[in-house]
Amino acid sequence: MNELYFLLHTLDPICKPPRGDVCVDIYECPFFESLLEKTGLPRPHHVIKEIRNKQCGFVGKNPAVCCSKINTSHDKELKEETTNEIEDKIQHKNIDLLPTENCGPISLNSRIIHGKEAVLGEFPWMALIVYSTNNGPDFLCGGTLISDKYILTAAHCVLKTIIGVRLGEHDILTTKDCNEDNSYCAPPVQDFYIETIEVHSKYNKSTDHHDIALIRISKPADLSYENVRPICLPIWDVPSLPIGAKFMTVSGWGMTEAGHKSSILKKATLPLIPIEQCQNIFEGHAVLFPNQMCAGGKKEDSCNGDSGGPLSMIVPVRGVPRYVQYGVVSYGPKNCGTLGMPGIYTRVDLYIEWILDKIKP
């Protein structure tokens, strides 16, 4: 980066097409991030020329460049790469570590109500991450059980001191979870220590790009209880991102780094927002990447998910309708539920290869 710093000088700070739409750190622009990853030092002349043509200043010591809101060539390259990897995923040595028969069960009592409480046992893959705080242990992020040993969550959720994971929870304030007439009570929660944590090697804290991580728990979860089951991931015959999908479900306790907003597990159905439209909404505040997705924007919907929690929908898995996770809650507006401001999610379907590479028996 020092080489770029001395080779480049500040140019016209105004970004307008065709130069680009917004002035950002060079490492926050998908096109230049990809370009710099593919070229070594010293930088080839055509790379330096491209940077000079788009430079709009500096962010600290990093060049700032005019970046297109959505880089379609990068997106196309990513889709082609993903298509080529589908066969590799199916042939991957760890493919059998991810369940397809016992994952994503649909509760017979589930109902779709915007921003309302989930039915007891409706989302048995929900995980609560326990942190060490000045006030003692607390839940500040969520995640999903994807096998008997692994929790999928956001990278930004594992930067603080984690001391454990809880599965099978519904109301965090009660010792026993029962339905309204007490005719049924869920099995006890399952608590685990942490064995290892895997953060995506390209995770960028400033942009939340590649905001995904895996937690391996200290012992296998007991999947014989109906309140603890893994969610399905988009593999095998499951579409990477269903064509024409308009809505997905977010579930959680509203867990963020600042605390939680509900003691009882909630859910909401969120509208999917095209990434190009979403970039327009976040114009001047963030550059979105093709491996992110956008959902929400209604008054209360975006408050019901957890940081690191799932965005999911029901699709056929080997002919059986099941919940499949397509997104991991990454970030959104600072004021939860801001009208018209959607949330940003890491696209799970584009990280299946990474997940398979990291999980172990």
Q: Rounded CA gap, 314 and 242, in Å? A: 10
Among 47, 19, 23, 16, CA closest to 34: 47
Selecting among 156, 200, 209, 260, the annotated active-site residue is 156
Selecting among 302, 307, 312, 330, the annotated active-site residue is 307
The answer to whether 307 is a known catalytic residue is yes
The answer to whether 211 is a known catalytic residue is yes
Beta strands per DSSP E along 17-106: 22-25, 55-59, 62-67
Token pair 């991991």: residue: 328
Please check whether residue 302 is in contact with residue 266, taking contact to mean a CB–CB distance below 8 angstroms. no
Residue 151: strand pairing partners? 145, 215
Residue 58: strand pairing partners? 63
Torsion-angle region of 224 (φ positive above 0: left; ψ -120 to 50: alpha; else: beta):
alpha
Intra-chain end-to-end CA distance of the chain, in Å: 40
The answer to whether 156 is a known catalytic residue is yes
Residues 6+ apart with CB under 8 A from 181: none
- Does residue 102 sit in helix, strand or coil? coil
Beta strands per DSSP E along the chain: 22-25, 55-59, 62-67, 116-117, 126-133, 136-145, 150-153, 162-167, 190-192, 194-199, 213-217, 247-252, 266-273, 292-295, 310-317, 320-331, 343-347
Q: Name the residues annotated as catalytic.
A: 156, 211, 307
